[in-house]
Structure 1
């Protein structure tokens, strides 16, 4: 390879969009798959044409680093959650300056260690327990006596297996549904994380860090719907302004979190709640937000998107200080509406989606629903039918269009199901 070289680990999820931005800056790209057995559903957006070389990491850091050394890569980046630890281990082994703190690599991936590290930095956090023993969990729950209890895998993402429990029986059921099962990345859940519930509006704060300085790229208000079986479904994500009393507190808190976790370079994705006492962390990921929203819509709203700003950080990080001198500037409203199916059956027609595309503020729809596929009822965050982006200057119109979407879903107008397969 005669060009500059960048390495992306697990270029899936939003990471599949990264390669094109480095190619624009004359980089050759090497892709590393972090392990065998990553689910096909997670890898489906991978763009093989962006990469000159593909390497499967087989568990030996030194061996994989040796394969890379001959190409003199300038940096190694995690394209998805599964690549977070390996990106830092390889960066360390290769002596790259873009590595995050060596001592806190596990704390940036293990949600229990993450919260413990943040608490040790003096920041407010939930109470928690990590365990593989049901008896230990039930004793902690009874002693804590702070309901609801949130149950989740220790190493996953999104709302994978996240369950709100209001009774001891529900805690036991959630433990059984998580422990020993496989998470969304194909990894076995060998331990279960239990946390006290943090009350307040939930937010996403995305950031980019360069040489230990943190710049906030976008803040989203998250809205949820709790299903009948105590699982969580997404409702909407609403991009909020950079300025405001709440935003200022969120930004200050998140920057302290990123510093506590030793994040020095690259993107981060933090979820937290704004309580009556201020911000409290849910979790942070040392990678881009997983929802790969349309790059053009992001560009039209912020003048950049998450993959482009990540590439800018590694290629010309010093430019970030000027770009974010006054914080990010939102040029239009942007709302993500997560599609909720109230019906199940085999899809005969998707023509009803034209109702969505004709909405005044419609910007993008992403769905796997197609003729002949099975439509499932949405009961959790992992079973949404898709996501719709609404954008524009008129916030009232966006709200009207959101309501229209919800009514179309309830009435079963988006998908025609074969009569013999309809499950109410």
Structure 2
């Protein structure tokens, strides 16, 4: 059901789940017609993963990702009628690639697609490295035998290695491994899971284990100008057989030296990733 037939400003939010649903609620409060665009990877169950205050939110329309970006763009235009879409906003990690493609195709403010899939952690590290900045030591593979030698060498040198899906949010699928056998088992688990869901470009990233406190720098960007909204220090602990379990986050005053170091690193990273619009959540470690 359409919320209104009167002309008003309209925004499309790609995958408005979790905190993305909060963005949809806020946009509605501010008088925008909101169209929910669902990427192909978001299941029906995931669509219901929203905060209590966002449940029951009535969208102007909802659109499922089409067979091509051209088809999806046409579906969005039709669904938004009689309004004209003013912006395409990414609501969740799953929607990064589609939001970039859809905003560019619609001729709206966009981060574009020149870099490729920004959600790909290997792509991220390559871009940072090419910009001359410090990046994580890593290797990528879809078959265990192509990464086994690197993993063995890393274990021999440092005793630990981190394995993760090339695309994931937070600590999903991330495991700290201490042996070649453990590493191989988790590698096969991750590849099996990605193959089952038909992930395009699915692979496993094997990285060095970084030592030191973990921080987050949250930012928002418009026309390439970055503003820091908050700096946080993670409290993660081993629990229930997992090496990284969130126990909390502590705000870090921007005046502290560690905050200044982190900000000085993260903002150039955003430039390397060609982030010109939107909110970002950058995780880093610092001694």
TM-score, with structure 1 as normaliser: 0.61
Aligned residue in 2 for 1:392: none
Q: Counterpart of 1:242?
A: 254
Native 8 Å contact 1:165 1:230 kept in 2? no
CA contact (8 A) 2:101 2:112 kept: no
User: Structure 1 residues 240 and 179 mapped into 2: Cα distance closer, same or farther (>3 Å)?
Assistant: same
Choose 160-169 or 144-153, whichever is displaced more: 144-153
- 1:57 corresponds in structure 2 to 65
* Match for residue 88 of structure 2 among 64, 76, 92: 76
Residues 20 and 50 of structure 1 are in contact (CA less than 8 Å); yes or no, is this contact kept in structure 2?
A: no
**Cα distance, 1:147 vs. partner?**
3.2
Partner of 2:215: 203
Q: Following the alignment from structure 1 to structure 2, what is the Cα–Cα distance between the partners of residues 36 and 266?
A: 21
Displacement of 1:139 after TM fit?
Answer: 1.0
Task: Please state if 1:131 is matched with 2:141.
Answer: yes
Could you list the runs of 5+ residues in structure 2 that have no partner in the other structure?
Answer: none
* C-alpha distance in structure 2 between counterparts of 1:79 and 1:153, whole Å: 21
In 2, Cα distance between equivalents of 1:136 and 1:179: 13
CA offset at residue 48 of structure 1? 4.9
> Which of the residues 230, 233, 257 maps onto 1:218?
230
Shift of 1:129: 1.0
* Aligned mate of 2:36, from 31, 34, 57: 31
CA distance in 2, matches of 1:192, 1:126: 15
Mapped to 2, the partners of 1:272 and 1:39 lie a distance apart of 33
* Gap regions ≥5 residues in structure 1: 276-424
The two structures have a TM-score, normalised by structure 2, of 0.88
* 1:2-401 paired onto structure 2 within 5 Å: 2-35=7-40, 38=43, 40-41=45-46, 43-45=48-50, 47-70=55-78, 71-96=83-108, 98-106=109-117, 108-144=118-154, 145-182=157-194, 188=199, 190-227=202-239, 229-275=241-287
**Of the two, which has the highest radius of gyration?**
1
Displacement of 1:177 in angstroms is 2.1
Deviation at 1:104, TM superposition (A): 1.5
Give 1:192 shift: 0.8
Shift of 1:41: 4.6
CA-based RMSD of the aligned residues comes to 2.0
**Equivalent residues, number:** 271
In structure 2, what is the Cα distance between the partners aligned to 1:12 and 1:187? 21
8 Å Cα contact 2:14-2:91 kept in structure 1: yes
